[in-house]
């Protein structure tokens, strides 16, 4: 974990970005910058593990963004937080302002699904959060978790008793990872009731509980304990 302790203001901004509709309209370059900043501030000042292969372009882009932010803010991590907050303000975040209903999810603050460009921005974490769902994702297992649609998810599970609730999406996240990253407590509780595997790791080698801790979702972290 990073030795740097982000301020409450940072966590407020990260929570906003995890649900902000404006994030889906930004460039992948900016989303990757947010991802790299988030990782430097909350996980480690340098990337963990080796650089992913050329054949895993999403993971490689995430790793490179993290490495670039580590280089840009070496020895001055507080500057990374300043930049993160600057971007958040540019995307509509205002310090101390409550989340709009369209940017909140059942009263929860949130991470992101492994967000922008499909990477956990922690800003929902993780962050940083995720792009808007594609048309073919809506109504799917992972899509319903991201949308925090408890009723539809319950109906899907009831209608498909053999559905694999531990399945990973194209970015390597299980439904429980996404619920913990987003802060969707009721969804996480439902998945746990159906016996999902809490030990599965995401592409960054985080379990769902670790994602919840990183994203500041204490209620879900306690639930997983």
Q: What is the pLDDT of residues 107-131, one digit of tens each?
A: 233 333 333 333 344 434 344 344 4
pLDDT value of position 215? 72
Query: Is 111 within 8 Å of 123 (Cβ atoms)?
Result: yes
For residues 147 and 25, the model is more confident at 147
Handedness of CA 99, 101, 104, 106 (dihedral sign): positive
pLDDT value of position 121? 44
- Span 8-224 CATH architecture: Alpha Horseshoe (1.25)
- Could you tell me the two tokens for 173? 């996240």
pLDDT value of position 81? 95
For residues 53 and 168, the model is more confident at 168
- Please report, for the chain, the start and end positions of each structural domain, with discontinuous segments joined by +: 8-224
pLDDT value of position 182? 83
Query: Is 152 within 8 Å of 139 (Cβ atoms)?
Result: yes
Q: What is the pLDDT of residues 137-184, one digit of tens each?
A: 446 898 899 888 999 999 999 999 899 999 998 888 899 999 988 889
pTM recorded for the entire structure: 0.50
Residue 133: pLDDT band with limits 50, 70, 90: very low
Distance CA 70, CA 169 (A): 28
Sorted by sequence, the CB contacts under 8 Å of residue 110 that are 6+ apart come out as 15, 18, 19, 104, 124, 129, 181, 182, 183, 184, 215, 217
């Amino acid at each position: 974990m990073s030795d740097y302790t982000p301020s409450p203001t940072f966590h407020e901004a990260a929570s906003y970005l995890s649900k902000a509709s404006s994030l889906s309209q930004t460039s992948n370059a900016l989303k990757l910058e947010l991802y790299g900043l988030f990782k430097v501030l909350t996980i480690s000042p340098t990337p963990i593990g080796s650089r992913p292969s050329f054949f895993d372009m999403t993971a490689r882009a995430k790793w490179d963004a993290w490495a670039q932010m580590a280089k840009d803010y070496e020895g001055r991590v507080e500057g990374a937080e300043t930049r993160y907050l600057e971007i958040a303000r540019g995307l509509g975040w205002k310090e101390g302002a409550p989340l709009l209903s369209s940017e909140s999810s059942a009263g929860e603050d949130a991470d992101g699904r492994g967000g922008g460009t499909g990477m956990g921005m922690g800003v929902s974490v993780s962050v940083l959060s995720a792009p808007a769902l594609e048309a073919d994702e809506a109504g799917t297992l992972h899509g319903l978790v991201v949308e925090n649609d408890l009723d539809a998810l319950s109906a899907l599970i009831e209608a498909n008793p053999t559905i694999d609730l531990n399945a990973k999406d194209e970015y390597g996240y299980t439904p429980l990872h996404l619920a913990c990253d987003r802060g969707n407590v009721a969804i996480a509780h439902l998945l746990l009731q159906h016996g999902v595997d809490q030990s599965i790791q995401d592409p960054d080698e985080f379990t769902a509980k670790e994602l919840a801790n990183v994203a500041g979702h204490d209620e879900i972290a306690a639930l997983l304990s």
